[in-house]
Amino acid sequence: MNLDPNNDGLYSDQERYQLLNFLANEYPELEGNYDVDNDSKVTILEQTQGRLPLSMRIPERAISSEKKVPWALNLFPEWLMTAYFQEDAQVGKLPKHSSRGTIIANATQTTDALQPVKADAKKGLNF
């Protein structure tokens, strides 16, 4: 079972859709209309809006299940208050870096000389 086919360690909205469908099939008590706008994607907002956090609803029997869900930092988005991912930044100078999580706090740097730089798509950010 590979719920993260691009192996980036995060669940994209498409991968989250597949994850929640898998969990609902394994644990019927998790069934719900997560894909509110029927686009075959589930955003963090769609996953969390109007329901208890997923981490509180997964049944205890999942711990002993043979089928394991691959861990990702955003598996339980309710655990993330604010997170910054290099994947969200474009190559070049970064006057602004958008955040993810339940509290959006975008990072900005207006002083040109102090702006971080992303030199390559897979090499992180340089401060």
Note whether 80 and 74 are within 8 A (CB). Answer: yes
* 3-class secondary-structure state, position 26: helix
In a domain, 3, yes or no: no
Question: Are residues 67 and 94 located together in one domain of the fold?
Answer: no
Q: Which tens digit of pLDDT belongs to each residue from 82-122?
A: 888 888 888 999 999 988 877 888 899 999 999 999 988 87
Asked if residue 116 and residue 87 are part of one domain, the reply reads yes
Looking at the fold, whether 35 and 92 belong to one and the same domain comes out as: no
Which residue range forms the structural domain that includes residue 66? 13-78
Phi, psi (5° rounding) for residue 34?
-75, -35
User: Cβ-count burial of 13 within 10 angstroms (0-12 exposed, 13-18 middle, 19+ buried)?
Assistant: middle
**pLDDT in the model for residue 69:** 86
Let me know if residue 127 belongs to a domain: yes
For residues 23 and 67, membership in a common domain is answered with: yes
Mean pLDDT over the full length of the chain: 88
